[in-house]
Amino acid sequence: MQKHVVVIYPHPDDESFGCSGTITQFRKEGIPVTYLCGTLGEMGRNMGSPFFANRETLPEIRKQELLDACSVLDVQVEMLGYRDKTIEFESRDEIAEHIKTYLEQIKPSLVITHYPGEAVHPDHDAMGAAAIEAVRKMNPEDRPVLWAQAITNDRYEKLGNPDVVRDVQDVFDTKMKAIESHRSQFEGMLNKFKQSPEFLGKNKDALERFYYEEFYTWKFE
Amino acid sequence: MKAIQMEEVQQALDSFANKEVYVHLETTNGAYAKHFDKNAYNVGAFIRNAKVSFSRAKIVGAESTYRIGLKMEMGWIYAEGVSDWELNDEGQLLLAGHDAQGRLMVALQISDKPFRY
């Protein structure tokens, strides 16, 4: 049984699309979950469908959506204040030190982040790398378990099968409610999943790909 | 934002001429383009809070979308595919082009004060 779970992703909605089923299952067991959200997704291109946001209003809208989703998921959220699309250009070491201050305070038993190099969006790769570096910097005996999430289309060929596969169908309603909290984002993203030539035929229903959440347990040297 | 009215946008553009202004210019097809279609190619560029001044600005119609050119002393600022506009509460001129799903494809914004960074 986990004591406290920390989720580290760069954007509002990564938590809902990525691991909200797992989060919900942990919360049902009474385990505290904290989301460290790197940016406000300021540079997102989904503006709602039909669009209701613009480049200048998007940050505040997405901040509220993040708070709404975290309320649905019943998790604490900390906004780290980086800027969308720029994480890979910042100092990885500084971000890692920043993340480490939260980890030392929260003392999680489990950290969930993106698998660097296998997470499609440059912010995902960079935030995942910084999160892993933050855990690596801790005393080995204090380190939490770390689950890295890969989302590239060829992840199985490159990494093999994930060792953690969680069936989240029992909390699927909550997961969809969290996703739909991101009103400016979810329709555009779901349509992309439905129309993608890379995904057609892989799942009968585009939503079925959200039934399972997969992670690779990170091995430190 | 609302659909562009050329005369109103031209007037707004003119109000920023011949003084120091801050420009946000971007275009993108999204960070996931290649993820969703392996034949696609991710492209994007943005510059935020470029401090410039221009002597002339013009919007030119191309059916439902428009092109805008800003003439500077030593060069140009250009955007194509712009369809919607807004002059927001802070007096910032926002111009953008969206696809059928409402996704932003291009943006050109002009302000007297820096945009939030």
Question: Distance (Å) from the C-alpha of residue A169 to the closest C-alpha of chain B?
Answer: 24
Extract the tokens encoding A52: 């209701």
Q: Distance (Å, rounded) from C-alpha A117 to C-alpha A123?
A: 10
Q: Which residue of B has its CA nearest to A81?
A: B117
Q: How confident is the model at residue A199 (pLDDT cuts 50, 70, 90)?
A: low
Contact B94 A51 (CB under 8 A): no
Q: Give the start-to-end residue ranges of the domains of chain B.
A: 2-111
Greatest extent of chain A over all pairs of C-alpha atoms, in Å: 51
Give the CATH fold of the B2-111 domain.
Answer: Protein Yojf; Chain: A; (2.70.180)
Chain B residue with the nearest C-alpha to that of A191: B101
pLDDT at A14 over 70: yes
Strand order in the sheet with B21-28: B2-3, B84-87, B93-98, B104-111, B21-28, B44-52
The minimal CB distance from A48 to the residues B86, B102, B115 is found for B102
Indicate the residue type of A218.
W
H-helix segments, A74-121: 92-106
Taking only the tens place, the pLDDT of each residue in A148-165 is: 999 999 999 999 999 999
pLDDT, position A200: 60
Q: What is the mean pLDDT of chain A?
A: 94
pLDDT given for residue A206 in this prediction: 67
B36–A196 C-beta distance less than 8 A: yes
As a whole number of angstroms, the distance between CA B8 and CA A92 comes to 46
H helix and E strand count, chain B: 2, 9
Torsion angles phi and psi, residue A111, rounded to 5: -120, 135
Using a CB-CB distance cutoff of 8 angstroms, which residues of chain A are in contact with residue B1? 51, 54
CB-closest option in B24, B32, B117 to A55: B24
Calpha distance B103→A204 (Å, rounded) = 26
**Per-residue pLDDT band at A10 (split at 50, 70, 90):** very high
Asked if A122's CB is within 8 angstroms of B94's CB, the reply is: no
Complex ipTM more than 0.85, yes or no: yes
Q: Would you kindly state where each structural domain of chain A is located, as residue ranges?
A: 5-217
Which residues of B are less than 8 Å from A45 in CB distance?
28, 30, 103-105
B contacts of A120 (beta carbons < 8 Å): 31-32, 35
The CATH number, out of the four listed (1.10.150.170, 3.40.50.10320, 3.90.650.10, 3.40.830.10), of the domain defined by the range A5-217: 3.40.50.10320
Contact call for A54 and B36, based on CB within 8 A: no
Q: How far is A58 from chain B (nearest CA, A)?
A: 11
Spell out which residues of chain A touch residue B24, defining contact as CB-CB under 8 Å.
Answer: 55
Residue B45: Cβ-neighbour burial (10 angstroms; 0-12, 13-18, 19+): exposed
pLDDT digits (tens, 9 = 90+) for A116-138: 999 999 999 999 999 999 999 99
Report the predicted TM-score, pTM, of the whole model to 2 decimal places. 0.94
Q: In what order do the strands lie in the sheet with A76-79?
A: A76-79, A33-37, A5-9, A110-114, A145-149, A212-217, A164-167
Pairing of strands B65-72, B75-82: antiparallel
Structural tokens at position A18: 């990525």
